[in-house]
């Protein structure tokens, strides 16, 4: 028998606010089960619901809202240019003769201006 995915299960009961198991949360977020338990990768924002002595569940509505929020945040964040400068002239290092210390310092001084 074929197992249903978390998405199929959520579509099946879309009118209700289901409580998801850790595997379902991990599948929806695309992270490991240990990441969900450790509350990393954005899962610290989710409310843990203790349904038994050792059972934890998460609200499906909160998980889906977190996914939407992460998508929106990813659209807004601009790409930052790196401030690092090349430490040396790469062409000089490709030559068969190595540079002297003074030549290296001179090249670095040109890039630091």
d(Cα 67, Cα 99) in Å, to the nearest integer? 53
The pLDDT value given to residue 1: 46
Contact between 70 and 42 under an 8 Å Cβ cutoff? The reply is yes
The CB density around residue 40, as the number of other CB atoms within 10 Å, is 12
Residue 88 near residue 98, CB atoms below 8 Å? no
Model pLDDT, residue 104: 81
The whole-model pTM stands at 0.52
* Cα distance between residue 25 and residue 65, in whole Å: 12
pLDDT on residue 10 = 55
Mean pLDDT by 10 residues, the chain (113 residues): 56 68 89 86 82 88 88 74 65 64 83 75
């Amino acid at each position: 028998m074929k197992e249903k995915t978390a998405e199929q299960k959520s579509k099946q009961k879309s009118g209700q606010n289901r409580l998801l198991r850790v595997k379902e949360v991990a599948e929806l977020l695309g992270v490991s089960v240990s990441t969900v338990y450790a509350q990393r990768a954005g899962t610290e924002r989710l409310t843990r619901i203790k349904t038994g002595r050792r059972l934890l569940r998460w609200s499906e509505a909160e998980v889906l809202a977190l996914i939407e929020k992460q998508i929106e945040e990813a659209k807004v964040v601009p790409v930052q240019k790196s401030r690092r400068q090349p430490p040396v002239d790469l062409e000089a290092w490709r030559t068969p003769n190595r540079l002297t210390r003074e030549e290296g310092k001179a090249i670095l001084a040109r890039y630091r201006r």
